[in-house]
Amino acid sequence: MSRRLVLFEDPQCPYCRQFEEISGGLLRDAWQRGDVAIEYRMRCFLGVESVRADNALALAAELNLFDELRGELFASQPEEASGGFTNEDLVLLGQRVGLTDPDYRDGVRTGRYERWARSVEIEFQRQDPQGTPAAWFNGRPVDSGVLTDTRSLAALVRS
């Protein structure tokens, strides 16, 4: 497969939640058909809540439940900088998608990947400082208008 979409999202970003609501199904279907490979690069520039959520997502990825938790985070998204996405919130949200492994709970509570999340945010700032959601398709930036128009996005991932 030569088509590759890289998506930059912050779990606290309301525009990312809207993007997921509008385009998430389209992208999952395109990926399942083999039309496009999708890589999520989770950002955490909106605060400590995003850092905690990115930590939980890294733990979920280890247990092959990244996309499920990502969807649950957007569905349950608190207002920016409201104190949401506490460790206990993330444990409960994880349980909703099957993350009941003690290693997940311990990793959330100890912030196992929080330092890593902050360090990759620095790199993502260099790669795409525009904010979220943002995307690259086959190494080139995608116009934000394409991300908000499902017909254009569908055409892009099939091109």
What CATH homologous superfamily does 4-158 map to?
Answer: Glutaredoxin (3.40.30.10)
The C-alpha angle with vertex 64 and arms to 62 and 68, in degrees rounded to 5, equals 120
HSE, side-chain direction, 13 A CA sphere, residue 79:
1
Residue 100: pLDDT band by 50, 70, 90 thresholds?
A: very high
Please state whether the predicted TM-score (pTM) of the whole model is above 0.75. yes
**Tens-digit pLDDT profile for residues 11-61:** 999 999 999 999 989 999 999 998 899 999 999 888 899 999 999 999 999
Q: In the chain, how long is the greatest CA-to-CA distance?
A: 43
